[in-house]
Structure formats: C-alpha cells, structure tokens
Structure 1
C-alpha cells in the first residue's frame, strides 16, 4: 500500500466517524488495532508527541481533535495491546478513545472529554 493510499484510507475513516474539523492523521496501514502486542517505551512528554510516537510504533491511525497547549501524557512502557497503551497515554488528559474502527485501516479515533469542575455544582 502506498503512502497516498494509507492517507486516503485514514481520511475516509475520519469522515466515516464524523470527525469534521481538524483531525490529525498520523499513520494508517492495514492492521487489527486490538489483537497484536507491542513493546512500548514512550516516556512522559507532550501529548501530541506521545501520540505521534505511538502511531509510529504501532503503524496505526490516531485521529484526534486539537490538543490543548501544555497537555502532557504520562507515557507508557511494557508489552501491551495498542488499546491498553493508548488508554495509558491518555490517562489524566482531556482526550479519550471514542472509537476503534472495524475497517481495514485499523486505528483509533479520540474525542475531547469535559472534566467536571472540582468545586461541584454548588447545590
């Protein structure tokens, strides 16, 4: 598969999932996103950099909305499935996994999470 074909599949995936607006496509080869185990060594770092490294290590697409400035990932180490590793990379951030597509391109779509106010509702 050529790079152009990979990117076209990833763009099609974004459109299928309704991710209009600025979604980032970092990689998109054919692979099952949940079955394989990978050896991860992604240190704590800015979230965008961590997601790019995750995509390079797994070869899976990661589509996401804009990342707030200063958003940090705690990193992930060890042998894990892609989903387990991505869950750890996103821990404590404003993003979560929205979908694991069942398409030949494989990969993940992320969405923003609204965090509850630490002060509560005030009732």
Structure 2
C-alpha cells in the first residue's frame, strides 16, 4: 500500500491552484476541462483540489462543506522549505492568513499560515537530520 494524494475541496479549483503556485511555487500538473478538479506537483505526494459541488454530488449527506471563515478542520499540511521566513512572507503576500510567525522549535524553524480555502499549513525548515 502507498499513500497517493490528498484532495482538498474548495470553492474555486483554479483559484486554489493559483494560490498554491503563488504562495509555494507548486505547478499545476492537471486540470479538468470543467475546472472541477486539479492537481499540483508538490514533490512526493500529489495535492489535488476538487470543487464543493463535485463532493456534494458524490458524497451527499456524508459531506460537510468547509469554509475559510469557519474554524479550520482537524488537519494540516506540512511543507518543508529552505527558508521559513521567506516562505511565510511569500505565502502571506499571496493571500494566506498569518497564524504563527516563524520561530525556532528545537532543531527546526516553523511557522503557520491558513490558505485561502481555510487549510492550516505548517512551514518547516529542518536544520539537522
């Protein structure tokens, strides 16, 4: 078995893809003609985005729509970067909500932002492995 991808349901797939490119440099690798699903090249695991209507049609009552103005859902994405300060500033400039500015935590530096669709994102730089 292998972990393949994470899919986040959003209001606008194209806006999410653009945000993640502007904030983190992840390039789009797939986008359907109807723009209701797209994927990013993040390295090892694919990050996909699908529209809320697509999820609602598929999952019916088993789906609860998230919203960026509501409290964040119970998960986060963790992105390793070379420079947390620069990455944090770039993400905030791209529209991310700043949650925790860069700080040193043991052997690494970390910061938190919230993406435009509401996902919590940890930015981490490992200083020793």
Same fold (TM over 0.5): no
TM-score by length of 2: 0.22
Structure with greater strand share of residues: 2
* Structure with more contact order per residue of length (Cα contacts < 8 Å, sep ≥ 6): 1
